[in-house]
Structure 1
Amino acid sequence: MPNRNGFTLIEVMVALAVFSLAVLALVRLEGATARGAGLVEETTVAGLVARNVALDALTGAEPPPAGLVTGSEANGGRNWNWTRRVSPAGDPRVVRIDVAVQDLRGQTRGSVTMIRPPTPPAALPQPPGATPTPNATSTPPGGRR
């Protein structure tokens, strides 16, 4: 019986085939991870754009008009199209503000819904004897700051 030292050519070829399959699987996994990270970033930025548009409508001095408004905004190095719909919320004290953000391919990537009063808030009345002064600072009791 001959003494065998080392591997046969067939054994080396099978080992290389198994190794190459494992490397291909790792390369595909890396590609999927990179695509997933890009999608997460895109969704996050689109959500921020939706929130910014909704907050503009929420914090404006005048309430937004009812109906559909569209626009575009640049954020995160990309251009985004947004749609804002203001509609009754079922309670006459509030309106519903729905914002959807689409990428340039038209796919919705982020959305947000907020509510706000349909009319501007009334100014708070001044206490009796108080005179309104712009940029006034108040002194706490005891006269110290």
Structure 2
Amino acid sequence: MNRARGFTLLEVLVALAIFALVAASMLTASSQALKTAARLEDKTFSLWLADNRLQTLQLSSDPLSEGREQGEETYAGRRWLWQSEVKATSEPGMRRVTLWVALRPESGLRGRIEDQALTTLSGFVGVEP
């Protein structure tokens, strides 16, 4: 009588356990990669928004006054909150501008924009002395 050669039940169970461990680690790694990519996309869009805001201030013909200003914009299909702070510098014809950009939470912002910001951008704007 010929005996059929094959895997025993124990060998099959060990192979399935190894496969399950590999599959679980692959899912965890791919999930982390997706989260990282989404975070990087948010940071990129927030930096572009801050840069656009700074360029708007630099190109504006209106005089730039010291103080804080904040607003909300829709950009890249998302709602963003921004805040700008203009301060005097030691050079009379220059102002320092700091911008903070954060994603607008659905439930409303808790705390300060500076604490929630994905991006902080600083730049200088020339003003008429």
2:126 to 97, 100, 117: 117
> Structure 1: which 4+ aligned runs deviate by more than 6 Å?
none
Identity of aligned residues (%): 26
Q: Which sections of structure 1, spanning at least 5 residues, go unmatched?
A: 121-145
> Which amino acid letter does the alignment assign opposite residue 124 of structure 2?
I
SS at match of 2:62: coil
For these two proteins, the number of residue pairs brought into alignment is: 118
Matched with 1:17 is: 17
Alignment of 1:1-145 (within 5 A): 5-105=5-105, 106=109, 107-119=116-128
Higher helix share: 2
When the two chains are superposed, the root-mean-square deviation of aligned CA atoms in Å is: 1.7
SS at match of 1:87: strand
SS at match of 1:85: strand
Cα distance in 1, alignment partners of residues 57 and 63 from structure 2: 7
Q: Could you state the TM-score of these two structures normalised by the residue count of structure 2?
A: 0.83
Cα distance in 2, alignment partners of residues 32 and 91 from structure 1: 47
Q: Which sections of structure 2, spanning at least 5 residues, go unmatched?
A: 110-115
> Which amino acid letter does the alignment assign opposite residue 49 of structure 1?
L
Q: Which has the higher contact order (CA 8 A, sep 6+)?
A: 2
In our comparison, the structure showing a higher alpha carbon Rg is 1
